[in-house]
Copies of this chain bind each other. A is one copy, B any other.
Amino acid sequence: MAGEAVASFQAHQIPPTVAASISSRIHGRRLGLPVRAGHSNIAADPAPRREQRKPEKALNLPSSISSILHLNLDTHLPTNLLSVLHLSGNDHRSPKDDVLSHYLKNTPTASPKENIAAIWREIHGARDWAGLLDPHHSWLRREIVKYGEFAQATYDAFDDDRFSRYCGSCRFGRSRLFSQLGLAHNGYEVTRYLYAMSHVEMPTWVERSLHAETWSKDSNWMGYVAVSSDEETRRIGRRDIVVAWRGTVTATEWSKDLQQRLEPLHDAGGKLHHDHHKDVVKVEHGFRSLYTSKAESTRYNKTSASEQVMEEIRRLVKMYSNRGEEVSLTVTGHSLGGALALLNAHEAAAGGIPGLSHVSVVSFGAPRVGNAAFVGELEELGVKVLRVVNQQDLVPRLPGAFFNEDLGKIFPVESLDWVYSHAGVELEVDTTSSPYLKQSMTDLPAFHSLETYLHLVDGLGSVVGAFRREARRDVALVNKACGLLRDELKIPACWYQPSNKGLVRNAHGRWVVPERDPEDIPSPLRHRAPAPSPSRSPNSQGAVPYLVAA
């Protein structure tokens, strides 16, 4: 163990003297010291949730890892689904699964929208979400789901088919992304697509086409900028710019590839002065590389993702603040996308953009991004970060599963600039709280899935730990890309896929990959709107051609 630990320290660039001192303490922790790893409470934690947590039992993972990571893989049985739903299965003419099936098919999927104009700042963390998280405020819950659906869109629209000439791009043109995905009801319009270089030091996050000629050899679609419509702006009390960053579908793979190397965020001539910080602001090398890489020879990354998004934010803020509107920026993302969201929010807040009144982040299952100095700088800049974390998800414990912000509480080390720290306020959800989900506890990718997160957020209610009886979000969505739903629900696993994997029969009767609609073919010239038309209201009855079966 001691040898392994020292090797691990080296990989983390930990000074050898500190490593030697920690190594013996680690050994102590494994013998029962009450150390909590993997949880951050940099911002105020408004409710005493930690103390209410059930005792932890390790189950299917090796117990040492499970207990160290506090995965809380309990054995308790789920609450009976029918009783949660106030349904009776006693009618002998109707088998239980028919009652359930009928209920699940015949209720609306969303509660009515509320006007949140009066408290939008609190919902976006102006008071660090005090009093809103536990019990969970229904208006906040609805907004979290909205931003989560924006993040989910980056997966649902991503072309990851290596047989496609457009592998790595968005399957839909900017102007119809939301209508194609059935998200027009959220009341936003996409104004720009964002691209990142695929040749960065994160080998497995990219998707590459098998075709010799593709839309781009160098870039992947990484997300988009959108802005609230006039109607939505009235409901939410300000003009809201959303940036949604794509993560990776195969999160467990890229997490292995993380260089786990903190490097200074700012170049020597960085804009921010932080002489009052003892430590240098550092962020994870791979995330920073993805966010800032560019190359003049490429079609889509002559500018970096950072430059693309900052240019668009500045343009939109200027346009709307010139009209006298209050403008907010909300950055969202899941997994790797949550890490990019943090870098983006940091840069936007540090950019001194006139007229930008509030910057917040809503992330899902995001890993740590930087060190304590980075987190401190985010706080100073007023960036409010709400991190939704599933108790059974491994990714938020990375990088820094063993060496993180908790280290300072127990080790009198002078400098923690080599330690990863989580930012903001954590909103915890728990796979075991949902009676709809299998309690297998071995499906780690499913615990990390964004749709699982959105289901669990929807279940957060007024009673701590109990799944909300009135939760209305379609549970079938959980199984889009995993098989976590209980068999009784009769929803196939991994069902989100086009008919015949996108093949269509042509005039000759042959099955072929169809040509893309010209509107959906990527073009470096079309990824930014000249100016969104403020009078154009998104169609709330938007068709969902891809999602609707033939």
Q: Which residues of A contact B (CB under 8 A)?
A: 95-98, 104-110, 161, 163, 182, 210-213, 474, 476-477, 487, 490-492, 494-506, 508-514, 544-550
Measured in the bound complex, the distance between the Cα atoms of B504 and A545 in whole Å is 11
Sample of 26 A–B contacts (CB below 8 Å) = A95-B212, A98-B212, A98-B213, A104-B510, A105-B510, A108-B509, A110-B509, A163-B487, A163-B492, A182-B509, A211-B490, A474-B509, A474-B510, A476-B512, A491-B511, A492-B501, A492-B503, A497-B500, A498-B499, A499-B499, A499-B549, A499-B550, A500-B547, A500-B549, A503-B549, A504-B548
Measured in the bound complex, the distance between the Cα atoms of B500 and A30 in whole Å is 47
Measured in the bound complex, the distance between the Cα atoms of B548 and A505 in whole Å is 7
Tell me the interface secondary structure of chain A in the complex.
loop
Name which residue of chain B comes closest to A489, CB basis.
B163
Q: Considering the complex of A and B, which 8 residue pairs feature the smallest CB-CB distances, nearest first?
A: A499-B499, A476-B511, A495-B501, A95-B212, A499-B549, A492-B501, A163-B490, A109-B509
**B487, A503: Cβ atoms under 8 Å?**
no
Which of A108, A490, A544 counts the most chain B CB atoms within 10 A?
A490
Question: Which residues from B are CB-within-8-Å of A497?
Answer: 497, 499-501
A490 shortest CB reach to chain B, Å: 4
Which of A107, A110, A491 counts the most chain B CB atoms within 10 A?
A491
A546 shortest CB reach to chain B, Å: 7
Which of A98, A213, A504, A508 counts the most chain B CB atoms within 10 A?
A508
A115 shortest CB reach to chain B, Å: 22
Name which residue of chain B comes closest to A488, CB basis.
B210
Measured in the bound complex, the distance between the Cα atoms of B212 and A96 in whole Å is 9
A72 shortest CB reach to chain B, Å: 30
Selected contact of A476 from candidates B476, B503, B545, CB within 8 Å: B503
Question: Which residues from B are CB-within-8-Å of A509?
Answer: 108-110, 182, 474
Measured in the bound complex, the distance between the Cα atoms of B244 and A280 in whole Å is 75
Measured in the bound complex, the distance between the Cα atoms of B549 and A502 in whole Å is 7
Name which residue of chain B comes closest to A110, CB basis.
B509
Question: Which residues from B are CB-within-8-Å of A487?
Answer: 163, 210
A419 shortest CB reach to chain B, Å: 43
**A502, B511: Cβ atoms under 8 Å?**
no
Measured in the bound complex, the distance between the Cα atoms of B213 and A511 in whole Å is 37
Known: A108-B509, A212-B95, A508-B108. A548 touches B491 (CB 8 A): no
Which of A98, A210, A213, A499 counts the most chain B CB atoms within 10 A?
A499
Question: Which residues from B are CB-within-8-Å of A506?
Answer: 105
Selected contact of A514 from candidates B96, B108, B510, B549, CB within 8 Å: B549
Name which residue of chain B comes closest to A500, CB basis.
B495
Question: Which residues from B are CB-within-8-Å of A182?
Answer: 505, 509
